[in-house]
Structure 1
Amino acid sequence: MRIRIVDAFTDRPFAGNPAGVVLLDAFPDDAWMQRVAAEVNLSETAFAHPDAGGSGADWQLRWFTPVAEVDMCGHATLATAHVLFDSGAVDGEVRFATRSGTLTTARHPDGSYGMDFPAAPLTAATAPEGLAEALGADPVSVQDTGPYVGDLLVELADESTVRGLGPDFRALAAYSRRGVIATARADAPGRGYDYVSRCFFPNVGVDEDPVTGSAHTALAPYWAHRLGNVLLTGLQASARSGLVRTELRGERVLLTGHAVTVIDGELHA
């Protein structure tokens, strides 16, 4: 059985967010997929098979961290689309049936991929007691991101504060279903991005995710409102780093990025 490792939200190897991609004829036992994801030990491993009809989609798609199945994942969706387009399995666009509804991905002439995702419904929240200590910085504002994303979105004072965070991951686990998205406006204009973020997801076994598409379904509407522009670019300032172009389209968000395959191998299990 073939497995690929694809770096998503980057156009060069060893950057962005790596995801495992396994194409199947049908979904096997959930426990097997979870064991594969634990073995691969990346933020997410995607499993997909052609849709037999009835859902209105082309492929069924599921995502697993090393410890749990998740409701939404951007970078592993991008990685799966990249594999399908590169292999010639799809052309033009591909529709995935997922826990988050039907997600459509199209390849653009420049080789990037645009993914149509639901925008997270943001709700202003009060910073919980102890959040500042767990995160390592004082929140400017806090938003609940709704059921699919399942995070707290926390704006901090500036870009340098986001970059310098050293959270207490165990303590952070108490504050949301998945984790915390820390963000701030870019310190200086003209550097190719409008806002920065870092994402900490201890509740699904990922202390820091390198580049998180699902987080940008919340970051896009948040910063579109704050900056007065529906077309923005986010830099996820992890050690690997990656860029996500975002376009707010009402209750949907178009997430755009590149991807590159770094490993193409055989799964013996």
Structure 2
Amino acid sequence: MTVEMHVVDAFTEQLFGGNPAAVIMTEEWLDDSLMQSIATENNLSETAFLKPVEHNHYQIRWFSPLTEIDFCGHATMASAFVVFLNNPSLSEVKFSAPAVGELIVTKQADGVIDMSFPNRKPEPVGDVPQALLDGLSKEPRQVLRNEQAYFAIYDGEESVRAIEYDSEKLKLLAPFDVVVSSPGKDYDFVSRYFWPANGGDEDPVTGSIHAGLAPYWGEKMSKQELVAFQASQRGGVVHCRLADNRVHVAGKAVLYLKGEIVI
């Protein structure tokens, strides 16, 4: 059996930038263990599997090299990119996933892919886990949490860029990951994302966490539209817009690879 696979760099206009994700479309789900094995073999931060429901509607599942993930933004962008690539006349696609419901993704005239996510604004944490404080090289000014991660807030971009982290200690926060963030110099805010419990050490660009970051910083800055930068080694620009209790997360993507897996 052969399965077609695309690899797409999301949240970038340049090849080898942003965050790469693999996209595989099948008429029926492959066995869970096989999907996990493929994701592990790919060793990308995410492999997305799509199953058609009807015209321009797909069920979607996301797998890191370690486990299945409830919600992944950059692999959703990569999936939409592939759907639009295969169907040039389409300008909208809908994905469904149990943890986040329906995700509407639109293709704009300039090639920007706009994803409508649920608002996942974090709430302050009363008792900050010691593993979080021990796992980051600098104590944050504030700590919050949503369904996905702990949010460690700092005062300046220099602090976020300089953070060193201990993966073994941050693993103790499972099932939650950790995002560190601050106001930016050239962008409204910057962030870095660590997820040793669920996928890897540092994620290049994490679309899903901006469903929490954008509402947080939008409220602090009294803004409905924000431009963010994820300050990883590859880096990526994320355009965010708040509307009707949804968070629109947008950016561009480029195709890296199209091939077949032989199973």
Please indicate the TM-score interval, normalised by the length of the shorter structure.
over 0.9
Bigger mean CA offset, 36-45 vs 91-100: 91-100
Q: Aligned partners of 1:225 and 1:107: how far apart in 2?
A: 27
Indicate the residue corresponding to 1:47 in structure 2. Answer: 49
Letter in 2 for 1:110: D
Query: Does residue 1:178 correspond to 2:172, yes or no?
Result: no
For residue 17 of structure 1, the aligned residue among 2, 7, 19 is 19
Indicate the residue corresponding to 2:129 in structure 1. Answer: 128
| Structure 1 moving runs of 4+ over 4 Å | none
Indicate the residue corresponding to 2:31 in structure 1. Answer: 29
Bigger mean CA offset, 57-66 vs 103-112: 57-66
Structure 1 regions of 5+ residues with no counterpart?
none
Identity %: 38
Q: Is residue 151–residue 176 contact of structure 1 (8 Å, CA) maintained in 2?
A: no
Task: List aligned pairs for 1:201-216, cutoff 5 A.
Answer: 201-216=195-210
Letter in 2 for 1:266: E
Aligned residues: 259
Q: Aligned partners of 1:248 and 1:185: how far apart in 2?
A: 17
Q: Is residue 115–residue 248 contact of structure 2 (8 Å, CA) maintained in 1?
A: yes
Q: Is residue 137–residue 156 contact of structure 1 (8 Å, CA) maintained in 2?
A: no
Letter in 1 for 2:129: P
Q: Aligned partners of 2:207 and 2:242: how far apart in 1?
A: 14
Task: List aligned pairs for 1:73-88, cutoff 5 A.
Answer: 73-88=72-87
Structure 2 regions of 5+ residues with no counterpart?
none
Indicate the residue corresponding to 2:146 in structure 1. Answer: 145
Q: Is residue 94–residue 103 contact of structure 2 (8 Å, CA) maintained in 1?
A: yes
Q: Secondary structure at the match of 2:77?
A: helix
Counterparts in 2 of 1:98 and 1:90: CA distance versus 1, 3 Å: farther
Q: Aligned partners of 2:87 and 2:54: how far apart in 1?
A: 19
Indicate the residue corresponding to 1:71 in structure 2. Answer: 70
Q: Secondary structure at the match of 1:78?
A: helix
Q: Aligned partners of 2:193 and 2:45: how far apart in 1?
A: 11
Normalised TM-score (structure 2): 0.95
Q: Aligned partners of 2:75 and 2:35: how far apart in 1?
A: 14
Q: Secondary structure at the match of 1:213?
A: coil
Q: Is residue 121–residue 216 contact of structure 2 (8 Å, CA) maintained in 1?
A: no
Q: Aligned partners of 2:53 and 2:166: how far apart in 1?
A: 42
